Structures are given as structure tokens and as C-alpha cells.
Amino acid sequence: MLARGTIARRTLLASLALIGFPARAAGAGGVDGLAAIGARAGVRVGTAATAAMLASPDLAALAAGQCASLTPELGMKWAAIAPEAGRRDWREADAIAGFARAHRLGLRGHTLLWHRSVPDWARIEPGASWATVAAHVAETMRRYPADEWDVVNEPIEGDGLRASPFLAAFGPGYVARALDEAHDADPRARLFVNEYDLEYASDAQASRRAAMLRLVRTLRRGGVPIHGVGIQAHLAIGRAAFDPATLRDFLAALADEGLAIAITELDVKERDYVLPATARDAAVADHAARFLAVALAQPAVRALTCWGLSDRQSWLAVDDADRARFPGAWADGSSPGFNRGLPYDSDARAKPLRAAIAGALIERSNMGLTRRQR
Ligand code: XIL
């Protein structure tokens, strides 16, 4: 841990120099970036990134100063890389991998097989050839030697495997086949299955947790190369009840399988957009803090990635359903602004969620849950 901390500090200084920021722009005055705070807790802190984000000087400075890893938000998905048969578009992914390299950040590859990003030309349907998937996995992983890969994204639906094109084409063995393929392409990469809606206590999410456990147990027993499970953690205020013991037990069951756990896509969808910004920010931080207190108490959790840093660039929007909950609000032409579910506001100023993340990491350090002690 000490060595890692030293490297993180050097990385921070090097990255600030590279992007032309004086060293005091971040991490100065005794205020550590989340990367350094996370390193002391044995947690690699990261963010999802787009090329547009890294081209914005304020957000690039946050990524370099606060994070130890990047996940491409869009750039490495199959349909983005291979929009047409025989054509490849590596620009977005190259920009993110290049930034990570230049700033000595880790890279989480995201994602190889996802039902929402299958190019039409690949014709993943009954009778399809596995060679198409194998070629995609090998080509992408060899171009981007990421240390972790979300090999299969969102394979669960209801209480079993999702009725995805992959299931239809290749049957339930496709998850194991994809992991084997990924391991062959890059034996050093740590391979993950990544999933959403595993965090809350509802019956629907209980079924999803049970299905995930069945899946990883089958994979582990079969000797399939799976190293971890990604818990997306797209949190949402007021959508479902949160029960600490339920989450704690689920994470412990994953850890008992010998798996690492990564929190891969943390953000918070708000509910009460009519409240003053200070109250909204407090509600977001509070909601995330309850999740993080449980998640970071599990030693197998070694990574925490936010799905973006600034509300200015978040996939969470204030949509029509949100507005409909508050009839008459904003009739004067005002606006709820952005969903405020990321650690920095639209001007890249730290919000209470940033403090909640730092606090949860510090709490974990105080518990002695560093890699060195495990
Ligand atoms: C989302 C991106 O944030 C959006 O910009 C894009 O339009 C769709 O994909 N689960 C995942 C992520 O694993 O890849 C998704 O990212 C969000 C849900």
C-alpha cells in the first residue's frame, strides 16, 4: 500500500505537469485527491470518461487529480468500435486509453459483450458463428491492455440469464465461453461480470442477486477464469428500500467465492428536484453514504468507479417523468438544472457526495481494511 501511495502521489504530480496545471491545482494544501485517499484504503478510485470530458480542461484536471483509473463510458462498446462490417472507429477509445497512459492511470475495459451494443452486421442470432464474438474479444483486448475488463455486461434478467442475443445464439454457456476467450486474448487481465440492480432490498433485486450468485458459482466450479463481479451502483433515491444487511450478505457471498468486487458505475438519480440545491446535494450524499458504508466495509471491494465526475456530463437526465411529479414547478421559466448525482457540480466544484466518498474511504482505512492487512 505504501508503495502504491507513493506512486499515486508521483502520478498526480506528473499528470498535473503534463496537462499544464501547477502542482497546487489539486492535492495541495494537504487536501488529497480521492485517488490518494482510496489508495490508503486499498480501493482504486476511478471515473467513467468520454473523449469530450477529457477535452474539457476542468474535467480533465479532475480526472487526473482525483482518479487512479478510467473506464470508457462509450468508447469500447462493440457497436461504437465496429459500426459497420470491416470498419473500425478507435478514436473515442484511443483518446481515453491515451489519457490513462499519459497520466499513469489504470484502465477498466468496458465492455465486450453487452446486449445493448451489438452491431447489426455481427448478426448475433441463432445459428451465428462464435468466431465473430471471438474475433471481437481478441481484437479489442489486444489493442487495449486494460488491467480489468467487464467481459459480460448485464447478463441477468428476472431470476436467470437475460434473453439476450448472446443467449439466443449460443445458449447459457456463452458467459463461460466469453470469459475463456478473454483469458486467451490477455491472460494478465482481471475478468469481471458487471451488473445493475443488485443493491436494494426489493424482491426483484433479491431474485437478481440470487441469479448472479448462481451464475458465478457455476463459473467458479467449472474453473472458468472469472476474477470479479462489478456492482454498477446506479443508485436512485426513493425507488426501492435499502437494507444494509442484505447488501452486506450478498457481498460476503461473492467474496466467499474468492471473487474481487468492484463498484463500477456509482451515481445517484434524484427524486425531489424542487428542493434547494443544498438540500438536494445533502440527500444525494446521504443516500450514497449509506450504500458506501456497507460496500466499503467488505474487504473484497477493491475499486470504486463513479459514472462520471461532474453533473455537467452525466448520463442521468431530469426527464419528463421527473417533471410530471411536480406539476406547476418551473412554470416561471426556471429549471431544475442537471441531475445532481455526481461528486462535482456542473462547474466542477466538489459537492457533499465527494465528501461522502472521501469519508467512506477514510472510514475503511480506519477499519484497517487495506490490501496490506488482508
Ligand atoms: C451508458 C452511457 O452512460 C450512456 O451515455 C449511453 O448512452 C448508454 O450507456 N450500464 C452500463 C453502462 O454498463 O455502459 C451504461 O452507460 C449505463 C448502464
Q: Whose CA is closest to 263, among 288, 287, 245?
A: 288
Residue nearest to atom 3 of ligand 1 (CA): 315
Residue 154: active-site member: yes
User: What separation in Å is there between the alpha carbon of 2 and the centre of ligand 1?
Assistant: 34
d(CA 348, CA 312): 8
pLDDT class for 31, splitting at 50, 70, 90? confident
d(CA 244, CA 176): 31
- The overall average pLDDT reported for the chain is 92
Tell which one of 265, 269, 305 to mutate to probe ligand 1, the residue whose CB is within 8 A of the most ligand atoms: 265
Q: Is the pLDDT of residue 288 over 80?
A: yes
Q: Is the pLDDT of residue 86 over 80?
A: yes
| Mean pLDDT of the region 111-140 | 98
Task: Go through the chain and tell me how many residues it has.
Answer: 374
pLDDT of residue 370: 58
User: What separation in Å is there between the alpha carbon of 346 and the centre of ligand 1?
Assistant: 19
Q: Is the pLDDT of residue 4 over 50?
A: no
d(CA 134, CA 292): 36
pLDDT class for 74, splitting at 50, 70, 90? very high
| Active-site residue, selected from the candidate residues 92, 195, 199, 265 | 265
Answering whether pTM is above 0.85, one says yes
**Ligand 1 nearest-atom number relative to CA 154:** 13
The answer to whether the CB of 47 is under 6 A from ligand 1 is no
The answer to whether the CB of 73 is under 6 A from ligand 1 is yes
Minimum mean pLDDT range among 3-12, 109-118, 184-193: 3-12
User: What separation in Å is there between the alpha carbon of 22 and the centre of ligand 1?
Assistant: 33
The answer to whether the CB of 232 is under 6 A from ligand 1 is yes
pLDDT of residue 30: 53
The answer to whether the CB of 224 is under 6 A from ligand 1 is no
Q: Is the pLDDT of residue 29 over 50?
A: no
**pLDDT tens-digit readout, 232-275:** 999 999 999 999 999 999 999 999 999 999 999 999 999 999 99
User: What separation in Å is there between the alpha carbon of 74 and the centre of ligand 1?
Assistant: 7
pLDDT of residue 373: 47
Q: Is the pLDDT of residue 75 over 80?
A: yes
**Ligand 1 nearest-atom number relative to CA 114:** 13
Q: C-alpha grid cell for residue 293?
A: 458504508
Q: Is the pLDDT of residue 120 over 60?
A: yes
| Mean pLDDT of the region 361-370 | 90
User: What separation in Å is there between the alpha carbon of 141 and the centre of ligand 1?
Assistant: 20
pLDDT of residue 309: 98
**pLDDT tens-digit readout, 140-180:** 999 999 999 999 999 999 999 999 999 999 999 999 999 99
User: What separation in Å is there between the alpha carbon of 316 and the centre of ligand 1?
Assistant: 10
Residues 231, 323: contact at Cβ < 8 Å?
Answer: no
d(CA 254, CA 312): 34
pLDDT class for 229, splitting at 50, 70, 90? very high
**Ligand 1 nearest-atom number relative to CA 194:** 13
The answer to whether the CB of 74 is under 6 A from ligand 1 is yes
d(CA 303, CA 38): 9
For the chain, give the percent of residues with pLDDT over 90.
90
Q: Is the pLDDT of residue 21 over 80?
A: no
Q: C-alpha grid cell for residue 39?
A: 489508495
Q: Where are the alpha helices (DSSP H) in 19-164?
A: 34-40, 51-54, 57-66, 78-81, 91-102, 130-143
pLDDT class for 302, splitting at 50, 70, 90? very high
Residue nearest to atom 4 of ligand 1 (CA): 315
Tell which one of 53, 70, 73, 316 to mutate to probe ligand 1, the residue whose CB is within 8 A of the most ligand atoms: 73
User: What separation in Å is there between the alpha carbon of 258 and the centre of ligand 1?
Assistant: 28
| Active-site residue, selected from the candidate residues 73, 154, 181, 270 | 154
Residue 199: active-site member: no
Q: What percent of the residues of the chain are helix, what percent strand, and what percent coil, each to the nearest 5?
A: 45, 15, 40
DSSP string, 61-78: HHHHHH-SEEEESSTTSH
